[in-house]
Amino acid sequence: MIQNPPNLGIDLDPVRHPEGCRPGIDCDTWVIRGARVLDPSLNLDTQTDVYIADGRIVGLGEAPAEFASQQAETIQAQGQWLIPGVIDTWARLREPGLEHKATIATETLAAVSGGITTLCMPPDTDPVLDSIAVARFIKRRAQLAGRARVAAMGALTQGLKGELLAEMAELTEGGCVAISNAHYPVRDLRLLRRALEYAATFDILVVIQPQDPSLAKRGCAHEGVIATRLGLPGIPVSAETAPLAQLLAIMAETGARVHINNLSSRAGVRLIAQAKADGLPITASVSAHHLWLSEMDTDALCGNTHVQPPLRSLRDRDALREGLADGTIDCVISDHQPHEMDAKLAPFPETEPGISGLETLLPLVLKLVDDGLITLSRALNALTQRPAQLFGFTDSGQIALGARADLALINPDTFWTLDDTTLLSAGRDTPFMGWDFRHQITMTWVNGKRVFSRSEPLSAP
Amino acid sequence: MAVNFVRPIIPKLTKDPWAIQFDAAGHLKHLLTIEGLGSSWITRILDTAEGFMSVSDREIKKVPLLRGRTVVNLFFESSTRTRTTFELAAKRLSADVLNINLSTSATTKGESLLDTLRNIEAMQADMFVVRHEQSGAAHFIARHVAPHVSVLNAGDGWHAHPTQALLDAFTIRRIKGDFAPLRIAIVGDIKHSRVARSQIHAFNSLNVGELRVIGPRTLIPNDIEPLGVRVFHDMRAGLKDVDVIIMLRLQRERMEGGLLPTEQEFYRLYGLTEEKLKWAKPDAIVMHPGPANRGVEIESRVADGPQSVILEQVSNGIGVRMAVMALCMSAES
């Protein structure tokens, strides 16, 4: 019935399938009854039953002829929402290299508890993800954990040093979904131009985090009223827009597909809008915390608002929200960076930047919908369909016959508070501790296997 | 003469990090920043300092207010003047004083700030006087210290140096009396100055007539006006009708960051010479938090001249620091 694509080196499936699995035991069959099924890619918003077998969606509304109903587990999901699993295109899982902060096992559990079924890892691991061996290791670790899919991004330059091109064709053939130099700059513009040309040859997506290292030097907060008042070294908006403008000039000559990661400023949003109007193949993402927090939340006492790029002014935050609503910004990311406690126990400028964001990504975006700032379909589009298109997850990010059964079931009306008991990530560094949310993820499926259930969150998949 | 009032519109933070300075009963426990003290506490500190000034003139320069208490000077950044005046203030209050210079010892061995703190805390200290190169360090320490310990900020990064601002306010009050009719100008590197930030909060809390900052754009942050100052880039315009001139120290490192071309150019434009001093009011006083770079931000003849009160600042510093220590340890005389 359903054809699996040939396995080319590294596939993304964390759950062994279909080779060597026993139907009904390893490969589950599920019926999810009565949920409000939401999928912006197909304009789907209807109450119906969903049938899952062999890792894929095999029936919508009615069971297919060969469906083994007796063996299927049934979930009564009336009143809940069933959405395609969220695809988070920028999350650090800290493995390999920084296992004292978190591991792939802990963070993929946190991810599925937040409705995220696919994670893309930037290449700034240790060793750097500039060889197939590291990509294989990550895939293997994700398989052992058996929760979310983990897709790797290959390095743009060898060792992320910005000196020599990495073997990006081999990396992408081996399963890397994009290439990036993470937050390390490519100072040599000639090299950047050649990297884009080379990537364009093979139609590889290049992910760029624009931040000029000299303008951002030693900075730890947005250069504005709050940084001035607290005496914190500032990062000006031009640290983002100057390299972005350079990049756009180079893009006009190369034709490579570029995805701007984690936009933070109003001026940045305008540059992207202009570039899109000019027809450049550019897309962009914003982190969920930049949609909710601003410099006003920068607290000199607590490093949990220390992020890179920094939280900017309220005007910038509003522009990011508008950009997301009108599609200038394509997707929302968690920018997940779990830290051990000690990393944040220091004076603000000395704390390590980044926050733990997997479990708040979907709730924060749905909170924007609640506040009437974006539509539900745009919110889901930015979390599922759009990243699937951009990063080439051709059969995920939608609820269609034959699509991968990567799904999240949400209770849309249960108020819950983010606290130490609800947070599953090894990184406790979130500025949203104590926030109330309305949407809670109750169950998550990856590849047709239930990998998370709120009633027993730590059970093995 | 009419004075233009510039009312400070201080941007609000969503949390109030300064509340930590007070205990549950509303009494001053830590002194971390001028923000949140308000004119009542500042005035109370200055009045208390006035009472302690006479101690230094006695034959036996001691009062027994902090007898049996231990004050630890915890300096992560080198300092001579501030540390010695804090030490002297503690000794005149009869406290035991321990000086720990950490810029060279523990932290370079990889020990975390919190570990260092816990170790010294275990030695039964009652008060930490902290200087650190990072903004927010004193708050961080106050938040994590044992409940009986008071923390005094002796300068953290570019953020705050509250006792310096208090001793400057004390000096001005002694000479000029009321703040309301005064024009005060702060000259030089505002951007990297914790002293300037604390002075801006202190003088505005005391309802100063007009507060000005003077310097090139590289040394004055873009968003400084909301703190309640008027910005001048021209020394002559900025010093016109000014009653108090505060010169800030220009760090040599600023030249390397491309903030200024040379010391000579800075001296020519903003260095306080006898000639430029004439642009201010004839009875204007000249202050400097020290140590002064003679020939860079101030001419020797001005620093040592009749209008200079730089040495008074230093001796007033002891009284003000005694007052802060006594108040924070609830041992007001």
Give the model's pLDDT for residue A27.
59
- Tokens in use for B55? 């101690």
* Under 8 Å between Cβ of A75 and A33: yes
Q: Is-contact B294 B300, C-beta < 8 A? A: yes
Locate tokens 């009472």: which residue?
Answer: B51
Q: Does the beta-carbon distance from A231 to B135 stay under 8 Å?
A: yes
Identify the CATH class of B17-161+315-328. Answer: alpha beta
CATH dotted code for B162-310: 3.40.50.1370
Is residue A229 within 8 A of residue B34, CB to CB? The reply is no
Instruction: Tell me, yes or no, if B114 comes closer than 8 A to chain A by beta carbon.
Output: yes
Which residues lie closer than 8 Å to A459 by C-beta, 6 or more apart?
A: A453
For residue B227, which residues of chain A lie inside 8 Å, CB to CB?
Answer: 228-229
Give the pLDDT confidence score for residue B112 in this predicted structure.
77
The CATH architecture that domain A89-391 belongs to is Alpha-Beta Barrel (3.20)
Report how far residue B276's alpha carbon sits from residue B262's, in angstroms, rounded to the nearest whole number. Answer: 20
* Single-letter amino acid code for the residue at B50: E
Provide the residue type at A305 as one letter: T
- Contact criterion met (CB < 8 Å) for B159 and A346: no
Q: Which of A50, A51, A57, A55 is nearest to A11 (CA)?
A: A55
Q: How many residues appear in chain A? A: 461
**Contact across the interface for A301 and B136, Cβ inside 8 Å:** yes
How many CB atoms are located within 10 Å of the residue A435 CB?
Answer: 16
Interface test with B, best of A214, A225, A232, A351 (most B CBs within 10 A): A225
Q: What confidence score (pLDDT) does residue B60 get?
A: 83
Half-sphere exposure of A347 (CA within 13 A, CB side): 23
Residue in chain B lying closest to A214 (CA): B257
pLDDT digits (tens, 9 = 90+) for B227-280: 999 999 999 999 999 999 999 999 777 667 788 888 899 999 999 999 999 999
- Return the bridge partners of B185, or none: B212, B245
| Residue B235 CA neighbour count, 13 Å, CB half | 19
Which residues on chain B are in Cβ contact (under 8 Å) with A297? 13-14
What count of CB pairs under 8 Å joins A to B?
Answer: 92
Reply yes or no on whether the pLDDT at B310 is more than 90.
Answer: yes
Shortest CA gap A303–chain B (Å): 10
Whether B17-161+315-328 shares its CATH topology with B162-310 is answered yes
Residue A460: what pLDDT?
67
For the ranges A300-314, B51-65, B168-182, the one whose mean pLDDT is highest = B168-182
**Nearest residue of A to residue B33, measured between CA atoms:** A230
Q: Where are the domains of chain B?
A: 17-161+315-328, 162-310
Q: Which amino acid is at A204?
A: I
SS3 A305: helix
Of B114, B140, B223, Cβ closest to residue A224: B223
- B10, B12, B13, B132: best to mutate for the A interface, most A CBs within 10 A: B13
Closest Cβ opposite residue A348 in set B11, B135, B224:
B135
pLDDT block averages, 10 residues each, chain A of length 461: 38 45 61 93 91 90 84 91 96 92 94 95 94 91 90 94 93 92 93 95 95 92 92 94 96 93 96 96 96 85 88 96 96 96 88 94 96 95 95 89 93 91 91 92 92 82 63
Q: Give B13's pLDDT tier (boundaries 50, 70, 90).
A: very low
Query: What per-residue confidence (pLDDT) applies to B78?
Result: 82
Q: Which of B15, B20, B221 sits opposite A228 (nearest CB)?
A: B221
Question: Can you give the C-alpha Rg of chain B in angstroms?
Answer: 19
Query: What's the token pair of residue A165?
Result: 């091109």
Residue to mutate among A230, A294, A317, with most B CBs inside 10 A, is A230
% of chain B beyond a pLDDT of 90: 66
Dihedral pair phi/psi, residue B99, rounded to 5°: -100, 125
Separation of alpha carbons B33 and B156, rounded Å: 10
Which ipTM value was assigned to this complex?
0.88
Check CB contact of B136 with chain A, cutoff 8 Å.
Answer: yes
Please name every residue paired with B301 in a beta bridge, in sequence order, or none if there are none. none
Testing the interface with A: which of B111, B134, B195, B213 to mutate, by most A Cβ within 10 A?
B134
Reply yes or no on whether A406 is catalytic.
no
Say whether the peptide bond before residue A96 is cis (omega within 30 degrees of 0). Answer: yes
Cβ <8 Å between B134 and A349 = yes
Cα–Cα distance measured from residue A328 to residue A222, given in angstroms and rounded to the nearest whole number? 22
Helical residues (DSSP H) of chain B, grouped into ranges: 38-53, 81-92, 113-121, 137-144, 162-176, 194-205, 235-239, 253-256, 263-270, 274-277, 300-303, 310-328
pLDDT of res. A69: 79
CA distances from B320 to B131, B155, B171, B218 (A): 17, 15, 10, 33
Structure-token pair, residue A204: 């590889």
Q: How many residues does chain B have?
A: 333
| Cβ distance of A346 and B12 shorter than 8 Å | no
Do residues B162 and B31 touch, judged by C-beta distance below 8 A? yes
The three-class DSSP label of residue B119 is: helix
What is the band of B116 on the pLDDT scale with cuts at 50, 70, 90? confident
SS3 B30: coil
**Per residue in B209-219, pLDDT tens?**
999 999 999 99
Determine how many CB atoms are found less than 10 A away from the CB of residue A307: 25
The pLDDT assigned to A456 comes to 81
- Tell me B12's DSSP state: P
3-state SS class at A34: strand
Per CB-CB distance under 8 Å, the chain A contacts of B20 are 301
Using alpha carbons, select from A86, A56, A85, A53 the residue that is nearest to residue A69: A53
CA-to-CA distance for A383 and A365, rounded, in angstroms? 9
Give Cα separations from A52 to A72, A159, A265, A382, A446 (angstroms): 9, 42, 42, 24, 11
Q: In chain B, which among 223-252 make CB contacts under 8 A with chain A?
A: 223-224, 226-227
Asked if residue B168 lies in contact with residue B208, where contact means CB atoms within 8 angstroms, the answer is no
Contact A296 B112 (CB under 8 A): no
A372 Cβ contact list (under 8 Å, min separation 6) = none
CB contact under 8 A, B113 and A297: no
What's the DSSP call for residue B284? -
Mean pLDDT for the stretch of residues B40-47: 95
Question: How many CB atoms within 10 Å of residue A441?
Answer: 23
Counting Cα atoms < 13 Å in the Cβ hemisphere of B24 gives 2
Categorise residue A110: left if φ over 0, alpha if ψ from -120 to 50, beta otherwise: alpha
Query: What was the pLDDT predicted at B2?
Result: 45
- Average pLDDT of chain B? 88
- Is B195 a residue whose pLDDT tops 50? yes
Q: Measured between alpha carbons, how far is B142 from B30 in angstroms, rounded to an integer?
A: 7
**Nearest residue on chain A to B197, alpha-carbon basis:** A229
- Would you call A345 and B197 a contact, using CB atoms and an 8 Å cutoff? no
Contact B90, B98 (CB under 8 A): no
Taking only residues 50 to 89 of chain B, the set having a beta carbon closer than 8 angstroms to any beta carbon of chain A reads none
Residue B331 pLDDT? 52
Give the closest-approach CA distance of B300 to chain A in angstroms: 30
- A436 by Cβ neighbours in 10 Å (0-12 / 13-18 / 19+) ranks as exposed
What does R_g of chain A's alpha carbons equal in angstroms? 21
The DSSP code for B227 is G
Residue pair B179/B172 in contact by the 8 Å Cβ criterion? yes
Nearest to A153 by CA among A127, A126, A182, A133: A182
Instruction: Measure the CA–CA gap between A138 and A141, rounded to whole angstroms.
Output: 5
**Interaxial angle between packed helices A104-113 and A132-145, expressed in degrees from 0 to 180 and rounded to the nearest 10:** 60
Least Cα separation, residue A215 to chain B (angstroms): 11
Identify whether the C-beta of residue B159 lies closer than 8 Å to the C-beta of residue B200: no
- Give chain B's count of helices (H) and strands (E): 12, 9
| Residues of chain A contacting B155 with CB distance shorter than 8 Å | none
Q: Checking DSSP bridges between strand A416-417 and strand A436-437, what pairing results, if any?
A: antiparallel
Catalytic residue among A330, A335, A406, A429: A335
Residue B157 to residue A297, Cβ atoms within 8 A: no
